[in-house]
Amino acid sequence: MGPILLSKRRPLGIMIKRPKGRASLPQELSAIGHHLVFAEGTKTELSYAKSIEKAILSKYLVDPEVSHVEIIEVDHRKKALDTIRLLDYAEQEITQRISQGERIDYVWVFFDKDDYHFADFQSAIARIERKNKSEYQERNLNNDPCDKNGIHWTACFSNRCFELWPCLYFCYFQSTVSACDDYIEQINQFLKKANPDCRYEKTSEGLHQTLVSAKGSLDNAIRYGRKLRQKNGINEPSTGISDFAYYFKNYLRTDEEEKEGEHHGIIR
């Protein structure tokens, strides 16, 4: 898989210009492909994606206009979309872009179960996973199983809610909860150990940086998230965000983090 460079979305309903020449990118980021990230504008998933954007742009000092990934802020008249309607929205947007001749390599759809019906949550995940078929001749830049347009889709789901993911930066959290506030309480306990005045904010665009500064580990989150998925499938607690994180994790590292990972045998 190629690395990911995130940028803010462009307006919908118009022809999207191809990114500027890849020669203007650092060599390490010269083959990242074209990615779309769908998340509800009122949800924490969007803030987390923006925090990853901020970390990558800061590390590589890249112009945000030189982009291959767009964060699509889905805001349906200020009302939350359920999982099925969010996927419908993503599919309609992709169909429109493909009809305009746009090339897309990856689509990432962020959603959580919260209080929605499990049947709808399960249906959305299955619908996304069915899109990637090895028999289609079209492939993306990494030769992944794709849909008929050469797009690889990933369900970046959370059960029950996104706040499970920040917890996994610190520990293998395998208990079910009665409310998402239980996860937030756990997150704040870890943050306060590093800074007594630090608290979890749903809308913080620096969430990834905050978690790492409090000695959280993206490598741990990926490892623990995969372990939960293997154990629980899509049942609580589980997450599909591990797949998203794995594809860009090495492009967030500082030289010191690389050395630390090698010393402790952290996964690559």
Asked if residue 260 belongs to a domain, the reply is no
Asked if residue 266 belongs to a domain, the reply is no
- Please report which confidence band the pLDDT of residue 96 belongs to, taking 50, 70 and 90 as the band edges: very high
Residue 266 to residue 30: CA distance in whole angstroms: 26
In terms of pLDDT, which residue wins out, 91 or 71?
A: 91
Residue 161 to residue 183: CA distance in whole angstroms: 9
- Please report which confidence band the pLDDT of residue 248 belongs to, taking 50, 70 and 90 as the band edges: confident
Beta strands at 238-239 and 152-159: parallel, antiparallel or unpaired: antiparallel
Asked if residue 265 belongs to a domain, the reply is no
- Cis status of the peptide bond prior to 160, with omega within 30 of 0: yes
pLDDT tens digit sequence for 200-217: 988 887 899 999 999 999
Domain that holds residue 118: 7-255
Mean pLDDT for the chain overall = 80
Please, which residues bridge with residue 112 across strands? 158
Q: In degrees, to the nearest 5, what angle opens at C-alpha 115 toward C-alphas 109 and 121?
A: 40
Asked if residue 173 belongs to a domain, the reply is yes
pLDDT (0 to 100) of residue 107: 96
pLDDT (0 to 100) of residue 30: 57
- Please report which confidence band the pLDDT of residue 261 belongs to, taking 50, 70 and 90 as the band edges: very low
Q: What percent of the chain has pLDDT over 90?
A: 51
Say whether pLDDT at 93 is over 50. yes
pLDDT tens digit sequence for 119-168: 999 999 999 999 999 888 888 888 899 999 999 999 999 999 999 999 99
> Cβ atoms within 10 A of the Cβ of 258, count?
13
DSSP string, 30-54: TT---EEEEEETTSHHHHHHHHHHH
pLDDT (0 to 100) of residue 247: 84
Say whether pLDDT at 251 is over 90. no
Asked if residue 41 belongs to a domain, the reply is yes
Asked if residue 113 belongs to a domain, the reply is yes
pLDDT, mean of residues 247-255 = 70
The answer for residues whose C-beta is within 8 angstroms of residue 120's C-beta and 6 or more apart is 82, 83, 84
- Please report which confidence band the pLDDT of residue 81 belongs to, taking 50, 70 and 90 as the band edges: low
Helix (H) or strand (E) holding 155: strand 152-159
96: nearest Cα among 4, 7, 10, 2: 10
- Please report which confidence band the pLDDT of residue 91 belongs to, taking 50, 70 and 90 as the band edges: very high
pLDDT tens digit sequence for 23-77: 455 666 655 678 899 987 677 898 898 888 778 777 776 665 555 667 787 765 5
Whole-structure pTM value: 0.83
pLDDT (0 to 100) of residue 14: 27
pLDDT (0 to 100) of residue 40: 79
Asked if residue 237 belongs to a domain, the reply is yes
Task: Give me the number of domains the chain comprises.
Answer: 1
pLDDT, mean of residues 229-244 = 96
In terms of pLDDT, which residue wins out, 8 or 175?
A: 175
Rg (CA), the chain: 18
Q: In degrees, to the nearest 5, what angle opens at C-alpha 164 toward C-alphas 159 and 166?
A: 145
Asked if residue 249 belongs to a domain, the reply is yes
DSSP string, 93-152: HHHHHHHTT----EEEEEEE-TTS-HHHHHHHHHHHHTT-BTT-S---TT---B-TTS-E
- Cis status of the peptide bond prior to 145, with omega within 30 of 0: no
